[in-house]
DNA sequence: TAAAAATACTCCATAGGTATTTTAT
DNA sequence: ATAAAATACCTATGGAGTATTTTTA
């Protein structure tokens, strides 16, 4: 009679595979069984979800909108089942954490073991992606918790600030700025800054600082990671900004490049958690925050 | 195996009836059938939803939280089914509109027939309640569209302003303020204002104006409707504020009390729509807004 | 001809019914 | 004794299987 959760699951699988036989396999049923359930769903909704014409299956435009709704429903179902587990035994099960690449290597190595130790029934899964991707994933209920720079559009997510992470200046040894004890805004004027490639939120931060200090971005160069960036600075190709946590946690950095503090009114990023308001882990998050704060690099500890 | 939408429906009905026999009736099944489905749901979730001890059934605390989740899921299902209908035939089916009492009698009589005429396949249902109740209802998917004063906490609802509705001063005939052509802030000082009872958002608006102008609320008096308020003003018990739309649409008012314009920088309320972001009618709403604007009282037409 | 989806049918798991027992007042 | 929920057992709907046909490249 009425729509079924199972039909919605099948529907979404088919809408990603776009092939009945292959989708049926993913659903662990036979192809005719899938065909009939999809047909039932289409009859129930009173519209065509798939175009199955010329040898290939595609979602109709109506199907697209229905798929959006179906994802929302199944996400809510997932939340309900998760909360049920959580009520029986909180701080257990899968905790899927998403972290940006300019944070992960400096925070996680110390915090993750501590987290595992504090909550031994948690099974931690870490995913490292850039901000946009992480937000997509958490909104689609593929992640439970993000650790990122909070100075971004959070699309309705809840957030909690954990650390202030000031930026430091990295220059080649022997650079003319190195004699100064503190770098002021005017010192950066016309300096060439090497920056990360597009999509890294740290890049946007650094561009703001460029604009403010009238430094300019080095043309024809975009690094894909902080370590590349450090290598280029060491090679004398320019200067760059680094987060304090990186400088503190990676002892090699100070041996490779000169680290200089920026002006008093120092630019910084705010590192913190973000999560879906409907997450069944909402109430656990302040506890995780405690662990993250306690086992963080000294330079950001409040 | 897994949770069923039907189980969730039964669960919510039982959680409102708190009696298996009566709830089963509402579900159109027998009592044992309901018992077994509830039991299955409890087994699936791995927790007790109901306490069935001393002759009466109650929701457990865990049950409460699960009911919240279940409501959310079924609301999303309702949205999906609604959108399916809507894709087949937009501007049709039930449109459940919630309106506050200080707007309904002045806007609806002209707009509703026009709306029916523009969209003959709509079945309009009107609900008149105060703001808090309306917001509760729309969040619970019991209404599709609100028409209210937008100067309130909208709890994540989308909104669209329709009219600016200035307040006017109503005094008894022969009142000493009546000789003035325009009322200024200082004229209201120490005047006794008669206001609506608690819960009307117009009351809060009027209190703000009180505070600003140092007028004071008449003690021991709270009207339950604008017409009561007008009657009291006519009887010489004090003065009050009235929305322009009321004065324009109800010809009796000017025969009963004196209407005076307020200062240039006149206080006003903003009347508009509010709806759930997930509503399947989101795309229709600008069209409804057009009709509402066109068939509104002249005093608020832009 | 081959590969993919739809159709025809068969089967069995389970939602829901009836009859009855248990429990609490 | 009564009223409510649970249990036992039966029935039948419909989800999923196998075999086959239809469709399209």
Q: Evaluate if the CB of A57 falls below 7 Å from strand C.
A: yes
Determine the distance between B14 (CA) and D1 (C1') in angstroms. Answer: 27
Among B47, B81, B88, select the one facing A3 at the smallest CB separation: B81
Residues 24-53 of A with CB under 7 A from strand C: 31-32, 35-36, 38-39, 52
Q: How does DSSP classify residue A298?
A: G
Is there contact between B37 and strand C, defined as CB under 7 Å from any strand atom?
yes
Same fold, B5-85 and B164-268: no
Q: Does B117 touch chain A (CB under 8 A)?
A: no
Confidence band, pLDDT 50/70/90 cuts, at residue B228: very high
Could A278 and B84 be called an inter-chain contact, meaning their C-beta atoms sit closer than 8 Å?
no
Looking at per-residue pLDDT, the higher value among B133 and B57 belongs to B133
Class of domain B94-155+275-300: alpha beta
In chain B, domain spans:
5-85, 94-155+275-300, 164-268
pLDDT tens track, chain A, 302 positions: 689 999 999 999 999 999 999 999 999 999 999 999 999 999 999 999 998 877 788 999 999 999 999 999 999 999 999 999 999 999 999 999 999 999 999 999 999 999 999 999 999 999 999 999 999 999 999 999 999 999 999 999 999 999 999 999 999 998 888 888 778 777 888 888 899 999 999 999 888 887 777 888 888 888 999 999 999 999 988 899 999 999 999 989 999 999 998 876 788 999 999 999 999 999 999 999 999 999 888 777 66
The pTM of this model reads 0.89
Sign of CA dihedral A232, A237, A240, A244: positive
- A186 contact to strand D (CB, 7 A limit): no
Instruction: Tell me if the domain spanning B5-85 has CATH number 1.10.10.10.
Output: yes
Asked whether residue B36, judged by its CB, lies under 7 Å from any atom of the DNA or RNA strand D, the reply is yes
Question: Is there a contact between B224 and B195 (Cβ–Cβ < 8 Å)?
Answer: no
From the candidates B2, B77, B282, which should be mutated to test the interface with A, based on the most A CB atoms within 10 A? B77
> CA-CA distances (angstroms) from residue A111 to A104, A134, A143, A224, A301?
10, 20, 18, 25, 13
Contact in structure between B213 and B189 (CB atoms under 8 Å): yes
Check residue A258 and give its pLDDT.
Answer: 94
Residues of chain A contacting B73 with CB distance shorter than 8 Å? 73, 76-77, 80
**Predicted local distance difference test score (pLDDT) of residue A159:** 98
- Could you tell me if A79 lies within 8 Å of chain B, comparing CB atoms? yes
Q: What is the mean pLDDT of chain B?
A: 92
CATH code: domain A92-302 is: 3.40.190.290
- Looking at CATH, the fold of the domain delimited by B164-268 is given as D-Maltodextrin-Binding Protein; domain 2 (3.40.190)
A164, A217, A242 from A228: Cα distances, Å: 24, 16, 12
């Amino acid at each position: 009679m009425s729509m079924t959760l199972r039909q919605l699951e099948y529907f979404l699988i088919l809408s990603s595979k776009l092939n009945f036989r292959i989708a049926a396999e993913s659903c662990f049923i036979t192809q005719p069984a899938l065909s009939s359930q999809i047909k039932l769903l289409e009859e129930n909704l009173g519209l065509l979800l798939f175009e199955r014409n010329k040898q290939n299956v595609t979602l109709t435009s109506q199907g697209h909108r229905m798929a959006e709704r179906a994802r929302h429903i199944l996400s809510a179902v997932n939340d309900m089942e998760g909360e049920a587990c959580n009520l029986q035994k909180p701080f257990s099960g899968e905790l899927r954490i998403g972290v940006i690449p300019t944070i992960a290597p400096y925070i996680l190595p110390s915090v993750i073991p501590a987290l595992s130790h504090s909550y031994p029934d948690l099974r931690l899964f870490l995913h490292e992606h850039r901000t946009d991707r992480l937000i997509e994933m958490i909104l689609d209920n593929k992640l439970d918790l993000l650790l990122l720079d909070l100075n971004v559009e959070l699309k309705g997510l809840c957030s909690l600030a954990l650390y202030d992470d000031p930026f430091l200046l990295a220059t080649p040894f022997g650079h003319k700025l190195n004699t100064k004890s503190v770098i002021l805004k005017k010192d950066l004027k016309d300096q060439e800054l090497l920056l990360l490639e597009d999509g890294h939120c740290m890049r946007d931060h650094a561009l703001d600082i460029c604009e403010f200090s009238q430094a300019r971005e080095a043309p024809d160069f975009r690094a894909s990671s902080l370590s590349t960036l450090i290598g280029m600075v060491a090679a004398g190709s320019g200067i760059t900004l680094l987060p304090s946590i990186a400088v503190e946690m990676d002892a090699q950095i100070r041996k490779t490049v000169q680290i200089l503090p920026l002006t008093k009114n120092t630019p910084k990023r705010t590192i913190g958690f973000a999560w879906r308001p409907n997450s069944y882990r909402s109430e656990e998050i302040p506890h995780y925050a405690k662990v993250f704060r306690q086992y963080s690099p000294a330079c950001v500890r409040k």
